[in-house]
Amino acid sequence: MSKRSPYRTELTPLEFLRRSAFVYPDKAAVVHGDRSYSYREFELRVRRLAAGLLQAGLEPGDRVAFLSPNTPPLLEAHYGVPAAGGVLVAINTRLGAGEIAYILEHSGARQLFVDRALEGLIDHEALRGDGVTVVRIDDTGAPHDPYEAFLASAADSAGDSARDFATGTGEPPPLTAGPADEEDPISMNYTSGTTGRPKGVVYTHRGAYLNAIGELIEMEMTPGAVYLWTLPMFHCNGWCFTWAVTAIGGTHVCLRDVDPARIWALIESEGVTHYCGAPTVQIMLVNDPAARPLEHTVRTMIAGAPPSPTLLEQLKALNFHPIHAYGLTETYGPTATCAWHADWDGRPPAEQARLLARQGQGFVTSDLMRVVDEEGRDVPRDGATMGEVVMRGNIVMKGYYAQPEATDEAFRGGWFHSGDLAVWHPDGYVELRDRAKDIIISGGENISTIEVEQTVARHPAVLECAVIAIPHDEWGERPKAFVTLKPEADATEREIIDFCRDRIAHFKCPDAIEFGPLPKTSTGKVRKYVLRDREWTGREKRIN
């Protein structure tokens, strides 16, 4: 085995900021309302955050938690925390107080930075008793903001070379000496915990670096990119776009809340070129009163749940360029994409959308995905035989923090087991059929909830829907659809069921329709377990 070159450096996304600050020092790096930071200013703020953490006693490998919407401080944390040798724990802002307390305890975080709007979710007295230091973020940028004061207190520790660079002389010194090993942790992201306590997924400097590069390739980003933060930065570190946008010298446009009208306004006023979001966010956008065909094309990555062909058609009609990606928290967010083929160009729009709705294959920085049976053997590539999606490579997690048994189970056979059921098409592309826990078994026949959902979504009155199994005395289980109608639209249960019966096999069609809003996670995924619990109360459940 050959030795590493003595001239090689460890891969880390921290170098993305150093390079962009050197190449584009006066370019807008971060825009947030009426505030804007150049790359020179962004880099200096990160350096001061790192210095402040070290002054506060941060030791290598210590965890630093942030509970914040998409604001400059959370973006800065993606560089400042690892630059100080720490591990970033970005916490889901929609969790309850008990869930947040569990994550703080499980991760062993010694410091917590919390946005003013979320401070009521933490117990200051309990955290003090545990030795956790808390810094409030007012998100004002003003000197009296406690976060800004934290940065200012470390200004003298940032170093003469940093101050020289900030005033336009010299070059930016390294943010850090770099990780001792590129496989060192850079962050921990907690799973949604829908079937138990959330698990801490460990990301490395190497994995974050490579997934960021993969995102740049798939999103075709250039230095002129203006990225709008509709996707939560706490979710898989913003699918690693926190690092990717900086790598290309693009502009981050922060957004505290997902507001469709505000998003439409920012696309125009800031010249937004790229954004990401789950299907729920995309549905909100295409159905907002402000929706209109754009004068410039905006590229959008869709992941988190399979988008329907109907949604993809709607996005294209408004001059969005949808990029369908697939992944999990355990794969740094998206790890695969449905790469477009030139010979699809001449096909009818509906067929193009159907092809694009597939999950495709791995990023250029990932290995190819496989679909396997229970024995770990590849299923036939016939587009019909279902198996489990497994993956491995550079952008799969290091493991679950402090849970070696769960890690071993997830990587049995040397591949990460996703828990997603899919078919493998003759062209090598993978298409999800369901989560293993969501598949409906009715009278011995498997029914894909995704197929039923996509059929229901084609009804012109339907905004979005979710399908689950409900108990049935004769067939064991039958599909039920929960439907949210578009504003001012109307449809009956019978109309939607008949609509489905005209398009898919009758045994796959829902037996019942319930109208109303869908319960969702903070990242736009439907909380199907809430619906299942309601329907299976008092019955023996097949699904946890």
Q: With contact defined as beta carbons under 8 Å apart, do 141 and 151 qualify?
A: no
Among 228, 302, 292, 298, smallest CA distance to 263 is for 228
Return the percentage of the chain with pLDDT > 70, whole number. 94
pLDDT band of residue 544 (cuts 50, 70, 90) is very low
**16-66 per-position pLDDT tens digit:** 999 999 999 999 999 999 999 999 999 999 999 999 999 999 999 999 999
CA–CA dist 167, 40 (Å, integer): 9
Among 266, 304, 271, 309, smallest CA distance to 285 is for 266
Judged by average pLDDT, the poorest of 207-211, 366-370, 505-509 is 505-509
Provide the 3-class DSSP secondary structure of residue 310. Answer: helix
Tokens 């010249």, residue?
271
| pLDDT at 139 (0 to 100) | 98
| pLDDT at 194 (0 to 100) | 47
Start-end of H helices in 460-527? 493-501
DSSP 151-172: HHHTGGGG-HHHHHHHTT-S-P
- Indicate whether 240 pLDDT > 70: yes
Helix (H) or strand (E) holding 188: strand 185-190
CA–CA dist 494, 513 (Å, integer): 8
| pLDDT at 4 (0 to 100) | 74
Strand pairing of 462-472 and 445-447? unpaired
Strands (E), 215-286: 226-228, 251-253, 274-277
- Indicate whether 398 pLDDT > 90: yes
CA–CA dist 170, 414 (Å, integer): 48
Tokens 């309601």, residue?
534
Q: With contact defined as beta carbons under 8 Å apart, do 436 and 388 qualify?
A: yes
Return the percentage of the chain with pLDDT > 90, whole number. 78
Q: With contact defined as beta carbons under 8 Å apart, do 201 and 329 qualify?
A: yes
More confident residue, 8 or 446: 8
Instruction: Give the other-Cβ count within 10 Å of 408's Cβ.
Output: 11
Give a three-class secondary structure readout of 60-87.
CCCEEEEECCCCHHHHHHHHHHHHCCCE
| Residue 168 φ/ψ, nearest 5 degrees | 100, 10
Tell me where in the chain the CATH 3.40.50.12780 domain(s) lie: 14-257
**345-355 per-position pLDDT tens digit:** 999 988 998 99
pLDDT band of residue 430 (cuts 50, 70, 90) is very high
pLDDT (average), residues 4-12: 87
Tell me where in the chain the CATH 3.30.300.30 domain(s) lie: 438-544
Please report, to the nearest 10 degrees, the dihedral formed by the alpha carbons of residues 317, 319, 323, 329 taken in order: -100
Provide the 3-class DSSP secondary structure of residue 303. Answer: coil
- b (16+ CB within 10 A) / e for 235-253: bbbbbbbbbbbbbbbbbbb
| pLDDT at 169 (0 to 100) | 61
pLDDT band of residue 446 (cuts 50, 70, 90) is confident
pLDDT band of residue 467 (cuts 50, 70, 90) is very high
CA–CA dist 409, 244 (Å, integer): 31
CA–CA dist 43, 29 (Å, integer): 9
In 3-state terms the chain splits into helix, strand, coil percentages (rounded to 5) of 35, 25, 40
Provide the 3-class DSSP secondary structure of residue 306. Answer: coil
| pLDDT at 68 (0 to 100) | 98
pLDDT (average), residues 2-12: 82
pLDDT band of residue 198 (cuts 50, 70, 90) is confident
**146-189 per-position pLDDT tens digit:** 999 999 999 877 654 555 555 566 666 777 657 989 999 999 99
Average pLDDT across the chain, whole number: 92
CA–CA dist 317, 110 (Å, integer): 49
pLDDT (average), residues 86-114: 94
Provide the 3-class DSSP secondary structure of residue 259. Answer: coil
| pLDDT at 159 (0 to 100) | 58
Number of Cα atoms under 13 Å in the Cβ half of residue 386:
14
CA–CA dist 297, 498 (Å, integer): 37
- Indicate whether 233 pLDDT > 70: yes
Start-to-end CA distance of the chain, whole Å, equals 47
Considering the domain 14-257 in this protein, what is its CATH number?
Answer: 3.40.50.12780
| pLDDT at 1 (0 to 100) | 47
| Contacts of the segment 378-381: beta carbons below 8 A, 24+ positions apart | 378/424, 379/423, 379/424, 380/424, 381/424, 381/425, 381/426, 381/428
Among 189, 230, 184, 176, smallest CA distance to 209 is for 184
Provide the 3-class DSSP secondary structure of residue 107. Answer: helix
Please report, to the nearest 10 degrees, the dihedral formed by the alpha carbons of residues 89, 92, 96, 97 taken in order: 30
Residue 296 has which token pair?
């410039």
Provide the 3-class DSSP secondary structure of residue 515. Answer: strand
Considering the domain 438-544 in this protein, what is its CATH number?
Answer: 3.30.300.30
| pLDDT at 165 (0 to 100) | 57
